[in-house]
A and B are shown apart, each in its own frame.
Chain A
Amino acid sequence: MPNIVEIAVNTEGFSTLVAAVTAAGLVEALSGDGPFTVFAPNDDAFAKLPPGTVQTLVDNPPQLARILKYHVASGAWTKSDLAEKAQLSSLESSPIPIRVAPDFEVKNATVLAADIEASNGVIHVIDTVILMG
């Protein structure tokens, strides 16, 4: 079974995320054993950010890595596992608020595709880049 990074690379619509993960130097970490839960913003989610936002981050890998780590939690959490949880602790350390019903939502993002299994965790595709705070 492919890992989280391999799935993102081979799936259409995640080129910005893959470029960002590469620029931030997180490829190796996200290819590791984990397991991780990744809330993966698609290309449309990145395109919604105002102009310049992504460029400034790509130019500054540690800052970009911090934002990306906010999209990752330890452990493989499927939608049904998350039904009991109000939040997950992100690798950035800030909490990620989660709601499963009526819609599956992560902070201010909506999950477009849930429970994509990878060898080292679970991916949930989201429609908005989430930010701490």
Chain B
Amino acid sequence: MLPDTPDNLKQIIGIYKAYAVPMDFYWRDLLYIAEQVFLNPLPAFKYFISKDYLDRDNAYSGDNAALRIWRGGGDAHPELREFMAKGESDRKLPKLLHHLWHDRVNMEFAEACMQAMLWHEDINPKFNAYLDSDEYRANSDRAIRAYFKGNPVMLGLYKLFPEMFHEQVKRLSYYSNLGLFWEVMAPVFFEMSDLYDEGKLTSVPAAMDFLVNGIFAIAGRPIYHHAYIKGECYEIIPKSQGFTWLYEAALPYVEAVFYRTAPFRGTKSYNAQARQVPPEQKDFHYGILYADVFPVGSAGIPPTLLMQDMLHFLPDYLIEEYSQHGRGEDDSLIQLGVTFQRSMYNVTSAVIQALRCALLYPLDDPNPEHLKANRAFFEQNLDRFKRPEARLQDIQDQSYR
């Protein structure tokens, strides 16, 4: 969907790199919250990730990876560690001051994505059916009782409002789901950036192909939720359930965050009675592919907080690019937001091509019936971009910044 121009390639690869650094924090902290913070009733320090989780080896990159597919390192990226130490203020202050001054990685973006996946429950039917099963409830019950052992107040509240506690555990299962999803995407984006710097990634379609191969390579990764309570592992969603990265994480993520999300709060009012908001969630189109990329301050889409995060890790060539266009440094936040939107069209193209590879036929298939089926599939996907708010038309033009 994104035209193959050198400028587009430079923009999307640069932004993948800037996205990969905070993403390296997001996945680690999402898993830290799902596995360690768990049901802490006052999780004021949930963004204060532990050293273990910063050092934790990525399952698919680094020397200690269980299965090394990508070339990057295993523990937290050096640029991330440097930013966490000094922040935007470039001063080594206590962690709490950086946090209160909001001079940190904006985990709220990651949580907004998780929330979108949790809320659009029709897009992940097998996973959600398990979350509603007796087995999951029993696992969740065991973990809740273990976590609050010796805490009569919380155990009393659990007795009074069990559904509320189980709902919280379901949310945490989605923290784990998204964390395991991004654990894979961060090294993919780092490697794309490295390949571009080395002159080995030279076109937009090549970038898309790299993503398609990555999606397939990792499609069967297990999606699970383990919680560690007093040193013991509680398997809330065991790996043996057979949930996979592609079906239970990647595809629901794309649908929830790229296409749907929710109307953003802030600068615009929506009148639901006047049908300005669709009555069915499946008709929501407020995702990044449709967003008016404006820094409204939202955690979700438009992703102001993510844009702020990416601003800290832009490669030099993008800083230079943004200074030469628009209002230079003054609107680089919007420029990088639009670049991010372009780059997500590239990811969406990769997802559509991967689905075509998996479920339909090769592009050079000699059977006309097969080509007809391919065409129907592409048309069905493209129909979603015929809406007036879709940005597909805009990204065709290099002046959309």
Contacts and interface: CB of A to CB of B under 8 A. Distances in A.
Contacts of A60: 220-222, 239
A131 B243 CA distance: 14
Main secondary structure of the interface of B (DSSP, over half): helix
A56 B217 contact: yes
Nearest to B358: A131
B242 A52 contact: no
A59 B67 CA distance: 9
Interface string A31-65: 00000000000000000011111011101101111
B138 interface: no
A47 B221 CA distance: 19
A59 B217 CA distance: 12
A76 interface: no
Contact of A65 (B242, B251, B370): B242
B240 interface: yes
Contacts of B359: 107-108, 131, 133
Contact of B220 (A51, A53, A133): A53
Interface string A59-93: 11011111100000000000000000000000000
Nearest to B224: A62
B223 to A, nearest CB: 9
B219 A53 contact: yes
B247 interface: yes
Contacts of A66: 242, 244
A51 B67 contact: no
A5 to B, nearest CB: 21
Contacts of A133: 247, 251, 355, 358-359
Nearest to B243: A63
Contacts of A59: 66-67
Q: Which residue among A49, A55, A56 has the maximum number of chain B CB atoms within 10 Å of its CB?
A: A56
A132 interface: yes
A63 B355 contact: no
Contacts, number: 63
Q: Which residue among A55, A64, A108, A133 has the maximum number of chain B CB atoms within 10 Å of its CB?
A: A108
B358 A56 contact: no
A86 to B, nearest CB: 15
A67 B358 CA distance: 12
B356 to A, nearest CB: 9
Nearest to B129: A93
Nearest to B126: A93
Nearest to B219: A53
Contacts of B155: none
A63 B246 CA distance: 11
Contacts of B69: 52, 56
Contacts of B219: 53, 56-57
Given A52-B69, A59-B67, A133-B247, A108 B361 contact: yes
A107 B220 CA distance: 20
Contacts of A108: 359-361, 370
A62 B242 contact: yes
B381 to A, nearest CB: 13
Contacts of B319: none
B355 A56 contact: no
A56 B220 contact: yes
Interface string B187-215: 00000000000000000000000001100
B244 A51 contact: no
B312 to A, nearest CB: 32
Given A53-B219, A56-B67, A62 B241 contact: yes
Interface of A: 49-53, 55-57, 59-60, 62-67, 107-108, 131-133
6 contacts: A60-B239, A62-B242, A63-B221, A108-B359, A108-B361, A108-B370
Interface of B: 66-67, 69, 212-213, 216-222, 239-244, 247, 251, 355, 357-361, 370
Given A53-B219, A53-B220, A62-B240, 17 more contacts: A50-B216, A51-B213, A52-B69, A53-B216, A53-B217, A56-B67, A60-B221, A60-B239, A62-B222, A62-B241, A63-B220, A63-B239, A65-B242, A108-B359, A108-B360, A131-B358, A133-B251
